[in-house]
Amino acid sequence: KAGVTQTPRYLIKTRGQQVTLSCSPISGHRSVSWYQQTPGQGLQFLFEYFSETQRNKGNFPGRFSGRQFSNSRSEMNVSTLELGDSALYLCASSLAGTSSYNSPLHFGNGTRLTVT
């Protein structure tokens, strides 16, 4: 079974630009979550999508947005990039059924975004 795939692996952007990251979950997984990982702040939750609807949202500004398609693939977008957006962005999928609290997250290898 293929794992979670994130593309691209690396991105270099300039302040003020926008960026779109892509995530393909494990087949059959309907929940996709996004996290930002930095040395200073650790792992921070951005948002979670389930069946094309945003079900949970972390404490990030509106420049960070996402969506999920009918095939469960997800994209996240960051507009007007700032230097502080440089981070590893991780996507995770899970089964997210009624007993989802027992279901672990399956992470991709992330997209390393550098903003200059």
Partner 1 sequence: GNSVTQMEGPVTLSEEAFLTINCTYTATGYPSLFWYVQYPGEGLQLLLKATKADDKGSNKGFEATYRKETTSFHLEKGSVQVSDSAVYFCALSEAGGSYIPTFGRGTSLIVHP
Please report, as ranges, the residues that interact with partner 1 according to CB under 8 A. 4, 6, 31, 33, 42-43, 45, 48, 50, 55-56, 90, 92, 94, 96, 99-102, 104-110
Pick 78 or 96: Cβ nearer partner 1: 96
| CB of residue 67 to partner 1, shortest distance in Å | 18
Pick 39 or 62: Cβ nearer partner 1: 39
In angstroms, what CA-CA distances link 45 with 39, 57, 70, 73? 15, 8, 23, 18
Strands 10-13 and 111-115: parallel
Alpha-carbon distance 25 to 108, whole Å?
8
| CB of residue 73 to partner 1, shortest distance in Å | 17
In angstroms, what CA-CA distances link 2 with 7, 52, 69? 14, 21, 19
Pick 55 or 63: Cβ nearer partner 1: 55
